[in-house]
Amino acid sequence: MEKTRLTAKDFSSGLPVKWCPGCGNFAILSQIQKAMAGMGLPHEKYAVISGIGCSSRFPYYVNTYGFHTMHGRAPAVATGVKLANPELAVWVVTGDGDGLSIGGNHMLHAIRRNIGLKIVLFNNRIYALTKGQASPTTQPGTKTKTTPEGSLDFPFNPARFAAGLDCTFVARGIDFDLPGGAAILERAASHRGTVFIEMLQKCVPFSDKEFDPLKDPQTRDENVLRVEHGKPLVFGKEKNKGIAFRGFRPGVVEFPAGKVPAEVVVYDETSAEMAYLISGLTQPDFPVPVGVFRAVEKPAYEELAAERSAAPAGLDELLAGSDAWDVK
């Protein structure tokens, strides 16, 4: 297919964007538009499919084919789009409630099949469009309109959910971390099979302070772990901390800056086990890991589905079958 040179601006639909001022979605939108431009396909070869929720407004703001579907069903609709026309770059935009609560079943089966969908799950840990109910990623004890005494549920960890399903591309980004997000999306754009990106995203009205420690220049280096293939898992303002897997139990080790001990893990994104361990690190014992946790090659479902063992027959031959008879 011909490569085209479009810019992120070309992917703006020009419609007024109706998210709240300060919403983390604006940053993600511009990052994805940039990633699309980087894919080099003409406009008509993109389809953005979403479910229901704040994030799912996304297709209206992108100048491609778009489908704002039903609550939770975006991966299912997108699967049909991709199978019907595998040439399309199909992006799925969903949220924590949409993708992991009402749509959890579709999400896990899309990942199981390794179908070529680029799924970006905006995780703001709250139901925002319905104005503030607990979601499946709401942290324990969080007070919301439906959990006035604090959330009781144990939450999902979306990236770990995907890693546990052997997703062939698992990553986590943060809305305000533009270079980090761009690096993930650029790699996601060329991945074969299912991409699952958890985008941590603050919601101004309902989870405004949720990710402040990851953003505040005073605290962010202690709270964010940047995961990169082939590099040691080191963090901290002084680069004096690292992650070691001691008998499959991750732990934080401290060391003098610059002298990374051998037990600090050199990350391997092709390892399913490492992806599972790293995605499971949570605060307060660990920093929040971001970056590409897993990237491996495996045939995509739409490629397998397109294979045919026989040549098509004519309609008359097909209808006649093998045991027809004539009535004279």
Partner 1 sequence: MTQNAPKKNVKVSELNSVTVRFAGDSGDGIQLVGNQFATATAKAGNDLSTLPDYPAEIRSPAGSLGGVSGFQISFGDDSVLTPGNRPNVLVVMNPAALAVNLKNLEKGSVIIANSDAFSKQELEKAGYAANPLEDGSLDNYRVISVPARALTEAALAGSGLSKAQVLKCKNFYILGILYWMYGLPLEPTIEWIKNKFRKTPAVAEANEKVLRAGRYYAESTEIFDARFQIRKRTIKPGRYRNLTGNEAAAYALITAAKLLKRKLFYGSYPITPASEILQVLARHRAQDVTVFQAEDEIAAVCSSIGAAFAGSLAATGTSGPGLSLKTEALGLAVITELPLVVVDVQRGGPSTGLPTKTEQSDLLQAVFGRHGESPLPVLAASSPADCFDTTLEAARIAVKYMTPVIVLSNSYLSNGSEPFRIPDPSDLPEFEVPPLPAPEEYKPYLRAPGTLARPWAHAGLKGYEHRLGGLEKQDVTGAISYDGLNHERMTQLRSEKIAGVAKEIPPTRIYGDPEGDLLVAGWGSSYGAIKLAVTEARKAGLKVSSIHVRHLNPLPPDLGVIMRRFRRVLVPEENCGQFRLLLRSACMVEPAGLNKMQGQPLNQEEILEKIKEVLRGN
Q: What tokens does 127 get? A: 């139901």
For the CB of residue 101, give the shortest distance to partner 1 in the complex, in Å: 14
For the CB of residue 138, give the shortest distance to partner 1 in the complex, in Å: 25
For the CB of residue 66, give the shortest distance to partner 1 in the complex, in Å: 4
Question: Which residues of the chain form contacts with partner 1 (CB under 8 A)?
Answer: 13, 42-45, 47, 49, 52, 59-60, 63-70, 73, 76-85, 87-88, 105-106, 109, 305, 308-316, 318-321, 323-328
Q: Closest Cα to residue 50, out of 13, 32, 77?
A: 77
Helix, coil or strand: residue 164: helix
Instruction: State the greatest distance between any 2 C-alpha atoms of the chain, in Å, as a whole number.
Output: 95
Q: For residues 8 and 253, which CB has a smaller minimum distance to partner 1 in the complex? A: 8
Q: For residues 262 and 315, which CB has a smaller minimum distance to partner 1 in the complex? A: 315
Q: For residues 103 and 158, which CB has a smaller minimum distance to partner 1 in the complex? A: 103
Residue 180 contacts residue 188 (beta carbons within 8 Å):
no
Tell me the C-alpha distance between 283 and 288, whole Å. 7
Q: For residues 217 and 321, which CB has a smaller minimum distance to partner 1 in the complex? A: 321
For the CB of residue 189, give the shortest distance to partner 1 in the complex, in Å: 18
Q: What angle do CA 288, 103, 48 make, to 5 degrees?
A: 85
Residue 35 contacts residue 180 (beta carbons within 8 Å):
no
30: enclosing H helix or E strand: helix 25-39
For the CB of residue 91, give the shortest distance to partner 1 in the complex, in Å: 12
Q: For residues 149 and 316, which CB has a smaller minimum distance to partner 1 in the complex? A: 316
Q: For residues 149 and 326, which CB has a smaller minimum distance to partner 1 in the complex? A: 326
CB atoms within 10 A of CB 27: 18
For the CB of residue 97, give the shortest distance to partner 1 in the complex, in Å: 16
For the CB of residue 68, give the shortest distance to partner 1 in the complex, in Å: 3
Tell me the C-alpha distance between 205 and 318, whole Å. 60
Q: What tokens does 61 get? A: 């703001």
Tell me the C-alpha distance between 30 and 58, whole Å. 11
Q: For residues 81 and 252, which CB has a smaller minimum distance to partner 1 in the complex? A: 81
Q: What is the DSSP string of 182-205?
A: HHHHHHHHT-SS-EEEEEE--BTT
Residue 136 contacts residue 96 (beta carbons within 8 Å):
yes
